[in-house]
Amino acid sequence: MKNRRLAICGWLLLSLLLTGCPATETTLAPTTPVTETPIAPTVTPTSAPTSRPTATPAPTPTARPTTPVNFIPAETRTAGPILPVGFDGVPLSNRGDMPWWNDAVFYEVFVRSFYDSDGDGVGDLQGLIQKLDYLNDGDPTTDEDLGITGIWLMPIHQSPSYHGYDVTDYYTVDDEYGTNADFQQLMTEAHARGIRVIIDLVLNHTSTQHPWFQESRDPNSLRRDWYIWSNERPTGEGWHQDPGNALPGSGYYYGYFWDQMPDLNYENPEVTAAMQDVIRFWLEDMGVDGFRLDAIKHLIEENGVLENTPGTLAWFEGFYVFYKDINPDALTVGEVWSNTEQVVAYIGDKVDLAFEFDLAEAMLKAAFNARPLMLQVAQEKIIASYPPGQYATFLANHDQARTRSQLANDGQAKVAATLQLTFGGVPFIYYGEEIGMSGAKPDENIRRPLQWTADGGFTTGTPWRDYYEDYRERHIAGQSAEPDSLLNHYHTLIRLRNQHEALRTGAWQPIESDRMQVYSMLRSTEDEILLIAVNLSGRPADDYSLSLEVGPFTPGAQPAALLGEGELYAPEINVAGGFFPYRPVEVIPPYGSVVLQFLREN
């Protein structure tokens, strides 16, 4: 108990340090790539790279005897999928108490970098359509596709910048990406494969080139108070003088992220009404399945407080009612780059999901340091804080150093993937993470073209940004042919998640391990119990044992392997449904994982 209290106190301190601010977008011309050096995970997601980390060896066992294990050979049993399937091929929870997104695995796509269909060096919607079968071919019986069932598109609206977070027209697709008709074709093709599509919606600000802002620059304009203006320069950061405006009293405008991104004024009801029109257009006319909402904690500033204000929370309550009235099944996932306590305030009556930054940090640290304690504390906190499953998990995104650049090797990347895709919530995978693409700041280097083949394969022309330097060795074609590749590890994990309801929506319970290098948990439903054991280290785990005082097992429970190799052993079940010291397989290889299925007796 003393160690547990110390761990919780440590977690609380870490939570305070984890609060961060999204990276400011900048507009830069393509340049020759810099050499990015992988960095260890830190509590500051935007920190600069440091020296390359080395894999952390497993903690040296203390001088204590190994817990005796009674090896009971398991009966031979073939594992079977628990796969309620909908008419469109998408796995569906069969309990009727979870929304569709809890059955989804999302893939974050930067259209500019995914695939170029016309050779101009810029990815486009037609390129994405051509490569949809890589994500999901629509046939649940095949295993060549990744198995993705949701796509999040980074901004696709008209914008003067490569990243698209400064919008000039919310109603049309950026010319470099295609047309509105191309988007509608994408929706048709995606839905035919069982893939739902959500798009980035930037509410907080527009581009300075947006007609609304251009009109607002006139002090006499009816749209003057669509943005936040001051005749005199206020104190504090984020204020910018209107350049080149000779009109008297043109003054200063507020833009939290950048001088090219002026903040909208949501204390003006006309701004809310204008954005509601945008939301209705994309839900009704374009058929989108929902929105990823950028930087929502900054929507309304109050009395010098810049984030998570009462005004922001109140606005999103009205927003929630509005979009649910249009489509009750529409999904919103918010970016609230804050700690868990602040994120939870948005869930349920403001947005459906929000990204769990604290959990992402904990998973990466566990994979890098081979120490699971803080991960378990984070998971316990999440289970206690959120409505069941209503949070979005990820490892890294377009604002952070890529996962592979924060870890020492592909083994650690496999561990991180396993921790994410066997836990609850709704997983989001940043494009290229499945092959271990690297990238660190500046932002353009985190958003490089996807490496399809040994010659790049993204375009027949010159890519808008050079590939990462390892593209000849690290690419989709090569890893597809390697059974033990990171890509095929993702294939296996996503397919398991799609096939097993317990991984998507099941109850979570930690299992005690007597060796720090082994992390273990249960995921369970009325039909099955899945036991997951992960060797976090680069050393074989051959002297471990797992214990569960109270659990869901019945005597005679027999395992079947869903993931992992080796002779299986059955647990010795106690009167409380747990088990005595248990080693399901004799050895878990370095960075290896074991997933065992126990069927419940109904």
- Assign 435 a pLDDT band (cuts: 50, 70, 90): very high
Kind of pairing between the strands at 507-513 and 546-550: antiparallel
List, for residues 326-338, the tens digit of each pLDDT value. 999 999 999 999 9
Output the CATH code of domain 100-204+264-499: 3.20.20.80
Q: Which of 335, 352, 358, 443 is catalytic?
A: 335
pLDDT of 419: 98
Please state which of the ranges 242-256, 316-330, 466-480, 557-571 shows the lowest mean pLDDT. Answer: 242-256
Q: How far apart are CA 352 and CA 332, in angstroms?
A: 5
Residue 229 corresponds to which tokens in the numbers above?
Answer: 């203006």
Q: Which of 116, 145, 242, 294 is catalytic?
A: 294
Residue 374 corresponds to which tokens in the numbers above?
Answer: 């803080």
pLDDT of 525: 93
Q: How far apart are CA 460 and CA 541, in angstroms?
A: 47
What is the rounded average pLDDT of the residues 20-47? 36
Which residues, listed in sequence order, are joined to residue 508 by a DSSP beta bridge?
523
- Assign 472 a pLDDT band (cuts: 50, 70, 90): very high
Residue 32 corresponds to which tokens in the numbers above?
Answer: 């020759």
Q: How far apart are CA 429 and CA 489, in angstroms?
A: 13
Is the confidence at residue 389, as pLDDT, over 60? yes
Higher pLDDT among residues 245 and 530, named by residue: 530
| 335 among known catalytic residues | yes
In the Cβ-directed half-sphere of 74, how many Cα atoms lie within 13 Å? 23
List, for residues 132-152, the tens digit of each pLDDT value. 999 999 998 888 999 999 999
| 501 among known catalytic residues | no
pLDDT of 232: 87
Question: In the 8-state DSSP scheme, what is residue 140?
Answer: T
Share of the chain above pLDDT 90, in %: 78
List, for residues 246-256, the tens digit of each pLDDT value. 566 678 999 99
Domains 2-78+507-599 and 100-204+264-499 share a fold: no
pLDDT of 97: 77
pLDDT of 142: 86
Biggest distance spanned by C-alpha atoms of the chain: 86
- Assign 75 a pLDDT band (cuts: 50, 70, 90): confident
With tokens 């569906």, the residue in question is 92
- Assign 236 a pLDDT band (cuts: 50, 70, 90): confident
Q: What value does the CA radius of gyration of the chain take, rounded to a whole number of Å?
A: 25
Topology of the domain covering 2-78+507-599: Immunoglobulin-like (2.60.40)
Cis, bond preceding 38 (omega within 30 deg of 0):
no
Share of the chain above pLDDT 70, in %: 84
CA 157 from chain centre, in angstroms, equals 22
pLDDT of 147: 96
pLDDT of 92: 56
pLDDT of 246: 54
Backbone angles phi, psi at 478, to 5 degrees: -65, -45
Q: Could you state, in order of their start, the residue ranges of all structural domains in the chain?
A: 2-78+507-599, 100-204+264-499, 211-254
What is the rounded average pLDDT of the residues 317-331? 97
Is the confidence at residue 479, as pLDDT, over 90? yes
Q: How far apart are CA 489 and CA 563, in angstroms?
A: 10
What is the rounded average pLDDT of the residues 86-111? 76
What is the rounded average pLDDT of the residues 363-371? 97
Mean pLDDT of the chain: 88
Do 586 and 566 contact (CB within 8 A), yes or no?
yes
Burial of 188 (0-12, 13-18, 19+ CB in 10 A): exposed
Do 582 and 407 contact (CB within 8 A), yes or no?
no
pLDDT of 93: 53
- Assign 70 a pLDDT band (cuts: 50, 70, 90): confident
List, for residues 272-311, the tens digit of each pLDDT value. 999 999 999 999 999 999 999 999 999 999 988 999 999 9
